[in-house]
Amino acid sequence: MQTEVKGKAAFAVVAAVQLPGVSDIEFEASLAELRDLSKTLGYKVVRTFTQKRTAFDTSAYLGLGKRVEIRDFINGSEVPDSSIGTIDRVFVDHEISPSQARNLENDVGCDVMDRTMVIFSIFHRNARSRAAKAQVEIARLGYMAPRLREMAKLAGPQGRQRSGTGGRGAGESHTELDKRRIRDRIAELQQEIAAMDVERKTQRSRRQERQGLASVALVGYTNAGKSTLMRALTGSEVLVENKLFATLDTTVRTLYPESVPHVLVSDTVGFIKNLPHGLVASFKSTLEEALDASLLLHVIDASDPGFERQLEVTDKVLAEISAETVPRIRVFNKVDQVGDAVIQTEFEIMLRAQYPDCIVMSARRIDDVATLHKAIVAFFRKDLIEAELFLPWSAQKLRGEIFSSCEVLEERADIEGAFLRVRGTRGVLEKYTGL
């Protein structure tokens, strides 16, 4: 089944059930998010259908009346704009079972895709590194495994028990064989990821030991502007797209202008409400950049009316990966999009009163980026210590390295070498003590 549209306009509708206890604001925010996810897949959402129910319809998610309404719209009897092409897909804002999806498809006359599969499709498309691709595949297989039996029943006789042939044990059904293959594939991928994790951690450790680098990680809701901020802080060309989950692989660059200590900046995968649990678990290794960082920049889209929801989701995911104790700076980005200058000023005053240590900024304003740069450097400089190093003339090849990784406060020459009074991190200074 095709999940992504390329080279042509595609139209879709969104459908959702509002359950008791879900506020109108939360419900609409989730719908807006699903529309953005649909856009990322290449679809233009032309209408949203909603229904309040005490529970999902067990057979087809939506009630019969709403299914008929959607079918009539798709068939054209209620399409107000004749320029709208064929409706290719119905996106639903919850995870539904294979039987619910099949029954809903039969009733509305169109392919159906639930929220979980939308997210999996985007992750699958955007994964670039071996690690990210493997993590997405593990999550997808974990999602499919418990659904195989129901899917086999829906498929008919081919899902039932057959005699064993060609590697299938006697009496082993296609479903059981598929489950075994999935288990084997997941185990294989987990071994690959474990090996990649060891390699990545070794490279990171060597890099930090060699260069005396501190580390800061950008975390936050997807599409909060992390990649734009990353580019502004490092002067590097990283992917910047107005799409959800444009960044899946961790990108690491050096803070620019360079400082003492040198600071590594990493951009991590964005968070989202109701992110499939399998993806949270499988991306823990990618998010380890946040765990290993000395400082987190929690980037929030200040222009989003529901930014408090972003805060809650990010805090929850950080807690799930045991990164809630890492020091952080809340960075309210995109303040230039909240209104005119007067509104921006009032909004900034409100945010600073509510979050006293936050930074309110726009990643597109040079002065704002400089303010954040200063705050990052100040965080790491508070832990610097001073020491006196003796550099023999025979070891002058280390001079450039010391000047690069430390702040040299004073230098005086001696007959056997040079005395340097420097300021740097404890780890860097210990490296050069006793030369």
Evaluate whether 359 touches 348 at the Cβ level (below 8 Å): no
Ligand-binding annotation for 52, yes or no, is no
Residue 57, amino acid = D
Ligand-binding annotation for 7, yes or no, is no
Q: How many CB atoms lie within 10 A of CB 286?
A: 22
Q: How many CB atoms lie within 10 A of CB 179?
A: 17
Query: Alpha-carbon Rg of the chain, whole angstroms?
Result: 27
Ligand-binding annotation for 335, yes or no, is yes
Ligand-binding annotation for 220, yes or no, is yes
Ligand-binding annotation for 249, yes or no, is yes
Query: Which residues face 217 on adjacent strands?
Result: 266, 296
Ligand-binding annotation for 231, yes or no, is no
**Tokens matching residue 387:** 């020491």
Ligand-binding annotation for 263, yes or no, is no
**Tokens matching residue 279:** 């993806």
149-152 contacts: CB < 8 A, separation 24 or more?
149/175, 150/97, 150/98, 150/99, 151/98
* Angle separating helix axes 148-155 and 98-108, nearest 10 degrees: 40
Evaluate whether 131 touches 195 at the Cβ level (below 8 Å): no
Give the contacts of 435 (CB within 8 A, at least 6 positions apart): 389, 390, 391, 392, 395, 398
Q: Which residue has the tokens 């294979």?
A: 98
Ligand-binding annotation for 227, yes or no, is yes
Ligand-binding annotation for 368, yes or no, is no
Ligand-binding annotation for 246, yes or no, is yes
Ligand-binding annotation for 362, yes or no, is yes
Ligand-binding annotation for 143, yes or no, is no
Ligand-binding annotation for 355, yes or no, is no
Query: Annotated binding residues for Mg(2+), as ranges?
Result: 227, 247
Query: Annotated binding residues for GTP, as ranges?
Result: 220-227, 245-249, 267-270, 333-336, 362-364
Query: Annotated binding residues, as ranges?
Result: 220-227, 245-249, 267-270, 333-336, 362-364
